Amino acid sequence: MSNGNDMGKDMRPDHGTPEEHREIAKVLAHASAPPAAAAAAARLIARIADEAQEQPTAKVLDFAPRPRPAARRVLRFAAALPLAASLALGVYLGAKGTLDFMLPAAITGGVAANEDLPDELGGVGEADAYAEENLS
């Protein structure tokens, strides 16, 4: 006989044919019938009269946050103000070029400033010279 608790096995449902259902219903009709339980229900009601209900208990506990020291707002501003002032000064001096002499030439020199840019990068301007050479 198969194990009824082994749910992983033979999980494909077999709906059974209507005739099969009729047959099984006829067979099960021969089974014993449970006795009427009116007296049992009356005993239960009598038992309930003596049973006290449980007091509902709070399932959610009150959350008491851990005390923490108050945030120091003054110190926060004291750190932010010099940083902001330093940033503003840096932007100003950089734009003026006042401190360029302190910076390497690669950053501040002509190459970086792109001042030595040739007029013609593609070599088209020297085409005539090349052409003369070819003719000669």
Partner 1 sequence: MTRDASAFRQMTDAGLLEAAAGGSHAAFAEIVERHFQPVYRLVWRMTGGAAEAEDIAQEAFVKLWKNPSQLREGAALRGWLMRVASNAVIDGSRKPRAGAIEDVPEPPDPMARPDAPLDRAQAQRLVDAAIAALPDRQRQALALVYFEGLSNIEAAGVMEVSVDAVESLLARARRSLKESLSAEWRDLIGGLAETGR
Which residues of this chain interact with partner 1, rule CB under 8 A?
1-5, 7, 10-16, 20, 23-28, 30-32, 34-37, 40-41, 43-45, 47-49, 51-54, 56
Place of tokens 């100003």: 92
Least Å from the CB of residue 62 to partner 1: 20
Q: Would you say 39 or 121 has its CB closer to partner 1?
A: 39
**Whole-number Cα distances in Å, 68 to 62, 64, 65, 76, 97:** 18, 12, 9, 17, 48
C-alpha pair distances (Å), 35 with each of 1, 38, 39: 29, 9, 10
Which of 3, 134 has the CB closer to partner 1?
3
> Which CB, 9 or 96, lies closer to partner 1?
9
